[in-house]
Amino acid sequence: MKFAEEKKTIIVHYILEKINQKQPSLSRHVAEAFSISPNTVHTYLNELLQDGIIEKSGRDTYALVTREQSFYFHRSMGEIKDETKILDATLLPFIKPFSSAVQGIWSYAFSEMVNNVIDHSGAETLCVLIRQNAYQTSVSIMDDGVGIFENIQKHFGYDSLEDAIVELSKGKLTTDEEHHSGEGIFFTSRMMDEFFILSDGKLFSVNKYEEESLDTVASSFPFSTDVHLILANQSKKCARDIFDQYANDADGFTKTRLPMSRIFESSPISRSQAKRVANRLDRFTDVELDFEGVEFMGQGFAHELFVVFAKSHPEIHLIPLHMEDAVAKMYRHVTA
């Protein structure tokens, strides 16, 4: 009996996941995945319909019933100064039913992102928009202050918003080193299933596979920055595990990962591009350079990064990953 209930729970969770993914031919797909009859799948779907967890949107198509709530805070009224109070007033009731690990991830991520608004944006208005269904919870943290990418670009004097975003993705970047470590966005983006920042006409995103992307978008968005967080309600992630992937007990946050195909629009070829990649890498001991999707690497780029920089920073381990044949050939050529 217990086994049957556990199996049903797994199947129902799978159904919710596939509805969230807009899986076509849902009933047949679930029946084949678990070797059960379509009638059993329909029984579970009808129970979810009756409980108000899903709603029918077409023939064998369903949608998750989502509740939505927004909250506004104003600096002039003294409401944008304590991230814990904002967490308690907004997200906490939504995540109380979840595991302690999921609650811990949300508490960390939400507090870090709201604290950025408090300390760095100069915003008058902060809006928290929460959407939740039976499968996942999403949170948008929006403000009308200085755009996050523009703020970083101006503070450090980077040539472009793209340079600012690349540096932000490495981690350990903050405009206030006396009070902040610059780790919040890096770790939050790895804890979430989906994470994106929309600001200054740029969309920077990281998904649960740690794939990053950067796009230019046209937007009439009323806020200067929107940080969007999505996490499955039954996620098996743990904040401690995420920290341990990139940190050690002695030195803290020591590891970063750079996706080359997301940094450059075309193949990396020049020494100046290599210097852009190498900027601030002396803050880490292990740097994973992911070349997946990169078809060619220029000799100047390879020599500057893997010879010049590597020799001048022997304490830093540059770890190339997913090199295609042409890229690996150039790597071996300069390092031989």
What is the per-residue pLDDT across 24-43, written as a single tens digit (0 to 9) for each? 999 999 999 999 999 999 99
Sheet holding 317-321, edge to edge: 255-259, 286-290, 317-321
The torsion angles phi and psi of 252, rounded to 5 degrees, stand at: 75, -140
User: What type of residue is 178?
Assistant: E
Sheet holding 194-199, edge to edge: 67-74, 125-132, 136-143, 225-232, 194-199, 202-207, 212-216
User: What type of residue is 165?
Assistant: I
2-64 belongs to CATH 1.10.10.10: yes
> 68 pLDDT exceeds 60?
yes
The string over 4-31, giving b where at least 16 C-beta atoms fall within 10 Å of a residue's C-beta and e elsewhere, is eeeeeeebbebbbebbeeebeebbebbb
For residues 242 and 327, the model is more confident at: 327
Residue with tokens 């997946």: 292
Q: Please state the domain extents for the chain.
A: 2-64, 67-238, 254-335
User: By CB neighbour count within 10 A (0-12 exposed, 13-18 middle, 19+ buried), where does 143 fall?
Assistant: buried
Rounded Cα distance between 138 and 271, Å, is: 41
Question: Where residue 216 falls among pLDDT bands split at 50, 70, 90?
Answer: confident
Question: Where residue 220 falls among pLDDT bands split at 50, 70, 90?
Answer: low
> 146 pLDDT exceeds 80?
yes
Q: Which residue, among 77, 148, 161, has the nearest Cα to 119 in the 3D structure?
A: 148
Percentage of the chain modeled with pLDDT above 70: 93
Residue with tokens 């031919």: 25
pTM of the complete model: 0.77
Region 65-92 average pLDDT? 96
CATH number of 67-238: 3.30.565.10
> 261 pLDDT exceeds 90?
no
Rounded Cα distance between 113 and 123, Å, is: 13
What mean pLDDT value characterizes the chain? 89
Report pLDDT for 180: 56
Report pLDDT for 167: 82
Rounded Cα distance between 270 and 108, Å, is: 39
